Structure 1
Amino acid sequence: MNFKNLLTFLKELQQNNNKEWMDANRKRYMAVRNDFIGWLDDMNLRLAAIDDEYYDTPGKKGINRINNNLMFHPNKPVYKDHFGAGFDKRPSTGDFYVEIGIEQGMFAGGLWRPDPKRLKSIREAIDYNGEEFKKILKQPSFKKTFGGLYEDEKLKKAPKGFSNDHPHIDVLRNKTFAVATMFSSRELLKPGFEDLVIQMYKEMLPFRRYLNQAVLMEESL
């Protein structure tokens, strides 16, 4: 994968963020996109080799659209300033997300503001065995890598059905159960970036498995 070409394309796209420029550079965009999809396919195989429960996610299924959704965010630019894709994208669960931007990229995973049903499942799992969840969050390497849960809106009071003095109330009030860490374009261009992807996947796996088992168990009932 020639990430330099990808970054160069993104830089020029942000300087000319309009449909006319994209139409004129469509072949170039497709070449970069196809190159990225090929890289995703390779990483898909590598991740499947280290995780027996991995959900096969070929590049074309994992890659995100480069267009912003202007229907819900009319003030955003027409095109995103990054290429993003998910791995291990089992339906209804939280995937492992990789984003490659101009100056920096991101590894992320978990569930961003899940719907009420999945949110309830996660809270019930924490109510039943929150010690295990907190043990994952407090692992030294995990804490060093991700810091903690992604900071997002929280309930001011306990969720319905839980008391304010619940031993895990600090976690239960979250609306988002996800983690993220950034990486620089310099790291992206270094030899062995793929090894970093695998390292981040492994580090995040116990966290994602806990959440995904919670939502999948509810779906099976």
Structure 2
Amino acid sequence: MDFERLFDFLETLNANNSKEWMDENRKEYESVKADYVKWLEDLDLKLSKIDEKYYSSSGKKAINRINNNLLYHPNKPTYKDHFGAGLDKRPKTGDFYIHLGIEEVFVAGGFYKPKPELLKSIREAIDYNGDEFKAIITSETFQEHFGGLMKDDDKLKTSPKGFSQDHKHIDLLRLKSFAAMKPFDRKDVLSSDFKDKVIETYTAMLPFRRYLNKAVTV
């Protein structure tokens, strides 16, 4: 995979962000996208050998649309400045997300601002066995890779409905997002072992994602 070409395309697209330009350069976009889809499919295959419960999907299903949703965000540019892809995305669970952008490169997973019913399920799981979740996110491996949970600026200032203010895990119950992220830089992506680094990150995040996915499906 020629990631240098991918970044070059994104930078040029960002400087000429219009449907007219994309129409004129559609062939290049499709070629870059096809290479990335192939890379994702190889990664998908490798991850399926690590996790027996892995939910495999094609690269075409994994990759996100590059168009912004202008219906809900009319002030955004026509096209995104990144390629996003979600792997191991069993229906109604959190995926393993890869973000390759001109401003940000990161791998993330979990639930970022989930719907109320999912958030309720996660809180109920923490109420039931929060010690297990706490042990996961404070483990040496998790801290080394992610430094803890992603910062949640939208968290509650009081206890959520149905939970005591003096609950032993009130700090977790107040959260509205349960996500972890590992940042990379472009040099990482262009290195020959980038896929290995992504696989290592997937493995480090697996107990965290398994806990949350079990919370919303059981």
Which range, TM-score by smaller chain? over 0.9
How large is the RMSD of aligned CA atoms in angstroms?
A: 0.9
For normalisation by structure 2, the TM-score amounts to 0.97
1:73 is matched by which residue type in structure 2? H
Q: Which residue is equivalent to 1:190?
A: 191
1:103–1:185 CA contact under 8 A, matched in 2: no
How far apart in 2 are the matches of 1:5 and 1:177? 34
Structure 1 segments (4+ residues) deviating >2 Å: none
How far apart in 2 are the matches of 1:141 and 1:22? 42
Bigger shift: residues 142-151 or 81-90: 142-151
C-alpha deviation, 1:129, in angstroms: 0.4
| Count of residue correspondences | 217
Q: Which residue is equivalent to 1:81?
A: 81
How far apart in 2 are the matches of 1:98 and 1:13? 20
Q: Does 1:158 align with 2:159?
A: yes
Q: Secondary structure at the match of 2:47?
A: helix
C-alpha deviation, 1:113, in angstroms: 1.2
Q: Which residue is equivalent to 2:7?
A: 7
1:114–1:175 CA contact under 8 A, matched in 2: yes
Q: Which residue is equivalent to 1:70?
A: 70
C-alpha deviation, 1:103, in angstroms: 4.6
In structure 1, stretches of 5+ residues that fail to align are none
C-alpha deviation, 1:104, in angstroms: 3.8
Q: Secondary structure at the match of 2:49?
A: helix
Q: Does 1:131 align with 2:131?
A: yes
Q: Which residue is equivalent to 2:177?
A: 176
1:160 is matched by which residue type in structure 2? K
Q: Secondary structure at the match of 1:165?
A: coil
Q: Which residue is equivalent to 1:35?
A: 35
1:171 is matched by which residue type in structure 2? L
1:103–1:184 CA contact under 8 A, matched in 2: no
How far apart in 2 are the matches of 1:58 and 1:139? 32
